[in-house]
Amino acid sequence: MLNSFLKAFDKFIKLESASSILLLLGAVFALLISNSAWEHLYADLLHHPFTISNLEIKPLEFWINDGLMALFFLLVGLELKREMLEGQLSEPSQVILPTIAAVGGMAVPALIYVAFNWGNPITLNGWAIPSATDIAFSLGVLTLLGSRVPVSLKLFLMALAIIDDLGAIVIIALFYSGELQLTYLAFAAITLALPSILFHWKKIHSLTVYLIIGLFLWFFVLKSGIHATLAGVALAFVIPNEKDSHGHSPLHRLEEGLHPWVAYAILPIFAFANSGVSFEGMGLDILWESVPLGIVLGLFFGKQLGVFGLTWLAIKLGIAKLPEGASWITVYGVSILCGIGFTMSFFIGSLAFTAPEYMNQVRLAVLLASLIAAVVGYLVLFLATKKPEPMERIL
């Protein structure tokens, strides 16, 4: 059982690490094209609606942020459900420390942002931007350290980031959804009940059936006023986990099939679509604006204070224990890595602001803070750990 879990965890880590590289490439490509002679092509491609046979189709940005990202949230939901049923979140003793750390890592950055934007209702709407942690990038940086970092610390970061994602989902549902349309909400509720009914009635294991249901659910949620991506999370929690005669469940099959698509395609495309910042006419003084200042300080310092501070407090109070093989300095290094916001920070920023000037500030601040957190976190962990000696030298 333990060996199969470690193999699955290793596969998960490798996919997230590869995704972080592609995410970075997508962001760099977006920055390059946004500051070149082809900048207008980038903007036209993403933001302009197109027409097919007199039918106006929403711009590509919508299909990426509201469509493809629904699949990302579906994967997040599947991972969360699996972890709650049989993984790191299935035992209360394993959940306590990453949950406390995640709460601190969300609350303190948000408070720092609010402190710099209090009194401005427009910019205050971005309070949740620095509260997010990017699981792919943070685990990707941790993986660069290889066996220098104990597996328990990687599990701690993974659990923390997944709980952080759950917190972001709740925030989006409560604070970044529109006026509710009860008729469509009722249709969504009925659609959401179908997977459980079909499975218990006919024992259907076909993923095609559940994905078709998911398409209708996405449409009804979109029209209901709740952000469309939350349809992915809702669908994940009704996908059955009961195994068939071959020992496979729809939940596991869908997670395994979806993960490579999200890691290698959806997230890099999202990074490309949301990282384009034109530096034309932009000076360093823009970083002193309340939005970027709140984001940078929130992600870099707020995450450290929240994650490490509440972790220290929980352990000192005897509520939890340090991850096996970890030290205070390595936990501190991980808390710095939690300041890599990227994907979820960009996503929340796109919900909080529609004005281009604010979105440029968000993109610049998230990129800068994530880069600083990645470099500093890596250096702290590198200096704090020793590379295990070869067995020949020990013997």
Mean pLDDT, residues 303-309 taken together: 96
Contact 293, 126 (CB under 8 A): no
pTM: 0.82
Cα–Cα separations (whole angstroms), residue 245 to 42, 206, 212, 248, 364: 49, 13, 24, 8, 51
* pLDDT of 10: 60
* pLDDT of 128: 94
Q: What is the pLDDT of residues 265-299, one digit of tens each?
A: 898 898 898 888 777 767 777 888 999 999 999 99
Measure the CA–CA gap between 199 and 364, rounded to whole angstroms. Answer: 47
pLDDT at 7 over 70: no
> Which own/partner contact pairs does 109-114 have at CB distance under 8 Å and 24+ positions apart?
109/298, 109/299, 109/302, 109/303, 109/306, 110/298, 110/302, 111/302, 112/294, 112/297, 112/298, 112/301, 112/302, 113/294, 113/295, 113/297, 113/298, 113/302, 114/294
Tell me the average pLDDT of the chain. 85
Mean pLDDT, residues 119-142 taken together: 89
Mean pLDDT, residues 29-58 taken together: 81
Contact 94, 88 (CB under 8 A): yes
- Rounded (10°) CA dihedral 38, 40, 42, 48: -160
Structure tokens at 48: 């302009």
Measure the N-to-C terminal CA separation of the chain; round to a whole number of Å. 30
Contact 290, 365 (CB under 8 A): no
Structure tokens at 66: 């509201």
* pLDDT of 395: 37
Radius of gyration of the chain (CA): 21
Measure the CA–CA gap between 13 and 10, rounded to whole angstroms. Answer: 5
What is the maximal distance between C-alpha atoms in the chain?
A: 76
Structure tokens at 214: 């998911």
> Which residue in 172, 185, 148 sits closest to 70, CA to CA?
172
* pLDDT of 5: 52
Measure the CA–CA gap between 84 and 162, rounded to whole angstroms. Answer: 11
Structure tokens at 369: 């803070």
β pairing state of 50-52 and 55-57: antiparallel
Q: What is the pLDDT of residues 164-190, one digit of tens each?
A: 988 888 898 888 887 788 899 899 999
Measure the CA–CA gap between 17 and 138, rounded to whole angstroms. Answer: 9
Contact 370, 341 (CB under 8 A): yes
Measure the CA–CA gap between 262 and 258, rounded to whole angstroms. Answer: 6
Q: What is the pLDDT of residues 337-356, one digit of tens each?
A: 999 988 889 999 988 998 88
Beta-bridged to residue 109, according to DSSP, are none
Domains and their CATH numbers in the chain: 2-177+227-385 (1.20.1530.10)
> Which residue in 358, 372, 385, 393 sits closest to 137, CA to CA?
372
Cβ-based neighbour number of residue 269 at 10 Å: 17
Residue length, the chain? 395
Q: What is the pLDDT of residues 54-97, one digit of tens each?
A: 667 788 888 998 899 999 889 888 888 888 887 767 777 778 99
Three-state SS at 307: helix
Contact 382, 373 (CB under 8 A): no
Alpha helices in the chain (DSSP H): 2-34, 39-47, 60-62, 69-86, 92-117, 121-124, 135-143, 151-175, 182-202, 207-224, 230-236, 250-261, 267-274, 290-297, 303, 309-316, 328-337, 342-352, 356-384, 391-394
The label of the residue with tokens 């459900």 reads: 81
* pLDDT of 13: 59
Amino acid at 183: T
pLDDT tier for residue 8 given thresholds of 50, 70 and 90? low
Beta-bridged to residue 50, according to DSSP, are 57
